[in-house]
Amino acid sequence: MSRLRLSHFGYALPAIPLAALYLPLFSYLTPFYASERAVDLAALGAVWIAIRLFDAVSDPAVGWLSDRTPGRFGRRRVWLAASVPLVAIATWQAFVPPADAGLGHAALWLFLLTLGWTMAQTPYFAWGAELEEGYAERTQVTAWREGFVLIGTLLATLIYFAMGEGGDGLRAIAVTVVVALPLTVVAAVMLAGEPADVPSVRLTVRAGWEAMRDNGPFRRLLAAWFLNGAANGLPVTLFLFFVEHRLAAPDSAGPLLLLYFLAAILGVPAWGWLSARASKHRVWAWAMLYACAVFASALFLGPGDVIAFGVICVLTGAALGADLSLPPSIQADVVELDRRRTGAGRAGLFFALWQVATKAALALSSGFALMALSGAGFDAAAGSNDATALTALAFLYAGAPIVLKLAAVALMWGFPLDRQAVAALRSRPAPV
């Protein structure tokens, strides 16, 4: 393995345990607390929305601080390392709650877990944006990281269903994260350095926010990322409900998820190959349109349609690699636009807002989906639900995501920061 590939490999390693938290946190944990701890679905939805409101403050704060963190070990790596104890403890408490745990326990430890996640993810993404400067090379970095994200997600899925789902599955995932996170963070710190020539110009708070406000490509990309994140968050939240109650095939959930994430892993190189030959924003738009066309058929599925849904999982899974690897690479180009205009290295703040949009999209979509399901009379613990509840479930799972993705495509189709624009940008010196 070349030195460059070894650096990318080392940088990407922590993505595995961090990703192993993602799907369980938003797909497995809610049904567990609802069915085994009798926590109200609408109350859980409200908790997620409240946590995301706090993220609107904590994420920019961590990004701003990481941009200004001095030290011989780098601005980003020290934050990633410092997050490990909090993430590990909160993961255990949230995933392995005591028998009498209720809404209060869930709210406290989900809040602390997402705070630790912020300390890890925001500097981690900023670090990735600063590893490489080339238009195509940035996609290589994000492809390594997001490929490992998919591996971590697949690993968590295998562990969860192999251990019998529910509380046993969540415990096994918690053990995996608590052990693997510190090991992979140490490996990343040792194998991947931080660039020493990141600009140190610091803007006043007002000047910094004005520069971001006037960065049209950033606003446009962030809006599209939010819409697509909300579109992806709905099926993530509702997958187990859809398979169990709409398809009446609860035992098929594990194999279907495995198909989905295997297809996503296999799809990452293909999207990277395409983005090396066309502008990244247009490739991403193609991927979203393709996903919409395939996902529309899920609206018409009913009890017993497991094979048809398996085909949908494979085809839409192939599109997930584009959703994961291309937008952060485009965001790195947007960060360079800001640096060329202002002379400030503010990847931390930019990716903090990126994380706010990421988590807000998922939490708001999942929170409102859970409240809408509850309002439609859906009962996660019931053996059966009426037609109204199941229709609401199908629309929230498959229909609403299509509308949101089409809006994201409309924003990104004519995105101005293409390959030629980035090349022209790099030919201009940054202010000093």
pLDDT single digits (tens) 39-71: 887 888 788 778 878 887 888 888 888 877 776
Token pair 């009962």 in the structure block, residue: 379
Q: What is the pLDDT of residue 39?
A: 81
Q: Is the pLDDT of residue 204 over 70?
A: no
Length in residues, the chain: 432
Confidence of residue 289 (pLDDT cuts 50, 70, 90): very high
DSSP sequence for 283-338: HHHHHHHHHHHHHGGGGG--TT-HHHHHHHHHHHHHHHHHHHHHHHHHHHHHHHHH
User: Around Cβ 326, how many Cβ atoms within 10 Å?
Assistant: 26
SS3 content of the chain, % helix, strand, coil (to 5): 80, 0, 20
Q: What is the largest CA-CA distance in the chain?
A: 66
Q: What is the pLDDT of residue 202?
A: 60
Q: What is the pLDDT of residue 50?
A: 85
- Using alpha carbons, select from 419, 387, 413, 172 the residue that is nearest to residue 275: 419
Confidence of residue 152 (pLDDT cuts 50, 70, 90): very high
Averaged over 4-8, what is the pLDDT?
76
Q: Is 208 helix (H, G, I), strand (E, B) or coil?
A: helix
Domains of the chain: 3-189+204-426 (1.20.1250.20)
- Angle between helices 103-131 and 306-342 in degrees, nearest 10: 60
Which is more confident, 383 or 356? Answer: 356
Q: What is the pLDDT of residue 83?
A: 94
Q: What is the pLDDT of residue 227?
A: 94
In whole numbers, what is the pLDDT of the chain averaged over residues?
Answer: 84
Q: What percent of the chain has pLDDT over 70?
A: 91
> Which long-range CB contacts under 8 A does 42-47 form with residues at least 24 apart?
42/370, 42/371, 42/374, 42/375, 43/103, 44/103, 44/106, 44/370, 45/366, 45/367, 45/368, 45/369, 45/370, 45/371, 45/374, 46/367, 46/371, 47/103, 47/106, 47/107, 47/110
Q: What is the pLDDT of residue 72?
A: 66
